[in-house]
Amino acid sequence: MTDKINQPLPSANRTVFFVSDGTGITAETFGHSVLTQFDMKFKQVRLPFIDTLEKAHDAVRRINEAVTPDGKRPIVFSTLVKTDLANVVFKSKGMHMDLIQTFVSPLEQELGVKSTHTIGRSHNIADSEEYKNRIEAINFSLAHDDGQSNKNLSTADVILVGVSRSGKTPTSLYLAMQYGIKAANYPLIPDDFERGKLPSALPEFKGKIFGLSIAAERLSEIRNERRPGSKYASLENCRYEINEAEAMMKREGIRWLSSTAKSIEEISTTILQEIKSDVRVY
């Protein structure tokens, strides 16, 4: 865990708080999206599980202490469901932006019903079918990482293929963890290129295979971190493997994308669209 500083940015000299009666993950995600619109550096503090009046008062104290000597007030992103807790926190000296309070009330009008104003379904998340599916998918994806197992491939939602270090493992785990997608992954290796065929377990599941490729320069860089100076990591070998893998995917009619400049979030979103799961009923 290191500081998350990508480049020197001017400091805003402001503290940002993410306050929630739950984990604070939504408040933080939401706050980040807004803050990335500003080329500034902020000190960020997450205050999760603020679910009693006492904790709410404590949060107010911490927010107030972060007002700078020259009077710059902290920025507070929050997801506070209970109105009594929200009303305490809102009395702090910070600038408040609350996701729930801002949007729930117009939605109540639109839907013609009152919101539950409870802590929300997310707190029973660990008991839900959705959650169990996610945990099951993580176990599946781990057991089917790197071609480790051919068992139960028929129950996979997607099978990722690509050369070693093209991003298959983190993408499989992300798909499982965030979306409950059972994602197996298989490496394409020189043996496969010589035979000119996909790994033998795969052809019958061609409909759910998705390929990852990557620029040779980037691949060589990544492999060199693992095995510096090896033939495996050489630019020449990376070029060979990638050419062969892309030729094979074309020949077999496998959809693929380049992971070079993409995050696992972006790769996963594209795969989700391809496997038609952008429509879900909750």
| Contact positions with its own copies (CB under 8 A) in 40-79 | 40-49, 75, 79
Give the footprint of its own copies on residues 94-123 (CB under 8 A).
95, 97, 99-100, 102-104, 106-107, 110-111, 113, 115-117, 120-122
Please report how close the Cβ of residue 74 comes to its own copies at its closest, in angstroms.
10
| Helix, strand or coil, per DSSP, at residue 230 | coil
Please report how close the Cβ of residue 203 comes to its own copies at its closest, in angstroms.
22
Of the candidates 254, 270, 222, the residue with the CA atom closest to the CA atom of residue 246: 254
CA atoms within 13 A on the CB side of 159: 26
The answer to the question of whether 211 is labelled as a binding residue is: no
| Minimum CB distance to its own copies smaller for 194 or for 280 | 280
| Minimum CB distance to its own copies smaller for 174 or for 198 | 174
Q: Would you say 13 and 68 are in contact if contact means Cβ atoms under 8 Å apart?
A: yes
- CA–CA distance, 16 with 13 (Å, rounded to integer): 10
Beta bridge partners of 75: 16, 95
Q: Considering the rule CB under 8 A, would residue 3 count as an interface residue with its own copies? A: yes
CA atoms within 13 A on the CB side of 81: 18
Q: Considering the rule CB under 8 A, would residue 88 count as an interface residue with its own copies? A: no
The answer to the question of whether 213 is labelled as a binding residue is: no
Phi, psi of 218 (to 5 degrees): -65, -40
Q: Considering the rule CB under 8 A, would residue 272 count as an interface residue with its own copies? A: yes
- Binding residues, by number, are 162-169
User: Which residue positions form the known binding site for ADP?
Assistant: 162-169
